[in-house]
Amino acid sequence: MASYIINSARYATPIYPHDANIIVSLLDLNLPRPGEEEYDTDHTPPPFEIFEAGTGMGSLTLHLARALHAGNPAIPPSLRNALCSARYKRDEFGLDLSPEVSAEYDTYKNNRRAILHTLDRNPKHSKAAHSLIRQFRRALYFPTVDFHVGSIDEYLSSRLAQTNNEPFLSHAILDLPSAHDHAEPVIQALHSNGLLIIFTPSISQIADFQAWILRSGQPIRPERVIELPVSTTADGVRDTGGGKEWDVKTVIPKDQPDGAPVQVMRPRVGDRIAGGGFVAVMRRWPAGQVPSEAQSLGDEAVSELDELSGTDEVPESEKPSESS
C-alpha cells in the first residue's frame, strides 16, 4: 500500500504512510466481523462511523478504510467487478452504474457496520482520492468509504438534523488549517468517549486549538500530543514506511579481489526527508462535566506558570559572593 500511495499521482500533499499508520493506531480500532457479536434483532445497533475532514490525496483515507474493512459484510464478486469496471459520470461526482447495480450497491451500503465519511472542499481532490481508493486492489476497501464535497458545517448540520441532534460519530480526524474554526459541529456529532484527532504541521496550531477549547468550554479533553517522526530515504522516496534506514551488506574490497569478504553496517544517508508533523488526541466528554474539566485544565496551566515564575535560575546559596 505504501508504494502504491507514494507512486500515485497527487493533487495535494499526502499524509505519508508511516504517519498514517501512527494516526490509525491512535484510534485503537477493534471492530468485530459481522455475526461475531449478538444483539437484539429488533434494535440493530447503529454503524461505527468515522469522519475525516481534509481528504486531500486520500492516503489517510485508504489506511482508515483498511482498518474498518473487517467490520463490513463481504461484497458480492459481481458487484465488486461492476464497481471496478464502471466509468465516471461526466457532469457529476460518482460512478455511472446501471439501475440494477446501483440498487444492489445501495442495499449493500445500507447493511454496512463500519463507514468512513471523508470530506474535502475541493472537488478535484475528492475525485482523485476516489480514484486512488477504487483502483487499489480492485476496489477492496472502496465500499467502506463515503465521499463528500463541501463544508464541514453543511454536511454535519444535515446529519445532525436527521438524528435530532444526537451524536452519531465514533471518532473524527481533522487535517486542515485553523481546525478550531471548524471543530464545533464535529465535537457536537461525536459520541461520548469518542476521539478527535488533529493533524497539523506546526505545534503552535495545536496550542491554538487547545486555547480555543478553554475559551469556548467545549466538551472535549486533550489527552496527548505527539510529534510524528520524519524518515529519510536514499535514491528518492520508495515507500516512506518509517524508520531510519541502514546500509547492511557484505562486499569484497576492490583493491583486494582475492581478500576475505567485509561487512558494511552504517546508517544510510538519505537524500529526502518525508513525513513529520504533530498530532493531538482529544476525547469527547459528557457535556455536564465540561465546566469542571475545563477549569481544572486551566488551573493546572496557571499553577505550572506560577511554579516556573517563582523558581530562580540559580539558587541564592550557589551564587558567587561579591569580591571586595
Q: State the cell numbers at 257.
A: 579481489
**CATH assignment, 2-73+112-230+277-311:** 3.40.50.150
Q: Is the sign of the CA dihedral 290, 295, 298, 304 positive or negative?
A: negative
- Mean pLDDT over the full length of the chain: 86
Residues 6+ apart with CB under 8 A from 242: 17, 18, 21, 229, 231, 275
Q: How far apart are CA 78 and CA 98, in angstroms?
A: 13
pLDDT in tens, 62-73: 999 999 999 999
Strand ranges (DSSP E) for the chain? 48-53, 87-88, 95-96, 114-120, 145-149, 169-174, 190-200, 220-233, 246-251, 262-267, 272-284
pLDDT in tens, 242-278: 667 777 888 887 777 777 888 878 776 655 666 789 9
Q: How far apart are CA 12 and CA 57, in angstroms?
A: 5
| Beta strands 246-251 and 262-267, pairing class | antiparallel
Q: State the cell numbers at 13.
A: 500533499
Backbone angles phi, psi at 88, to 5 degrees: -80, 150
Using the CB atoms, write b or e for 149-177: b if 16+ within 10 Å.
beebeebbeebbeeeeeebbbbbbbbbbe
For residues 299-321, average pLDDT: 53
Asked if 22 and 225 count as a contact pair (C-beta separation under 8 A), the reply is no
For residues 275-290, average pLDDT: 86
Backbone angles phi, psi at 230, to 5 degrees: -90, 155
Pick the closest to residue 83 from 73, 96, 92 (CA basis): 96
Strand ranges (DSSP E) for 162-291? 169-174, 190-200, 220-233, 246-251, 262-267, 272-284
Helices (H) and strands (E) in the chain, counts: 10, 11
Q: State the cell numbers at 100.
A: 440494477
pLDDT in tens, 190-234: 999 999 999 999 999 999 999 999 999 999 999 999 999 876 655
The whole-model pTM stands at 0.83
Q: How far apart are CA 88 and CA 44, in angstroms?
A: 34
pLDDT in tens, 72-131: 999 999 999 999 999 999 888 999 999 999 999 999 999 999 999 999 999 999 999 999
> Which is more confidently placed, 257 or 316?
257
Residue 19: CB atoms within 10 Å: 25
Q: Please report where in the chains the cell 494516526 appears, as a residue.
A: 23
Q: State the cell numbers at 179.
A: 481546525
Asked if 176 and 154 count as a contact pair (C-beta separation under 8 A), the reply is no
Q: How far apart are CA 43 and CA 58, in angstroms?
A: 34
> Which is more confidently placed, 111 or 311?
111
pLDDT in tens, 156-185: 999 999 999 999 999 999 999 999 999 999
Beta pairing partners, 172: 51, 196
| CA–centroid distance for 120 within its chain | 14
pLDDT-derived band at 294, boundaries 50, 70, 90: very low
Q: How far apart are CA 284 and CA 216, in angstroms?
A: 14
Q: How far apart are CA 151 and CA 217, in angstroms?
A: 23
> Which is more confidently placed, 229 or 313?
229
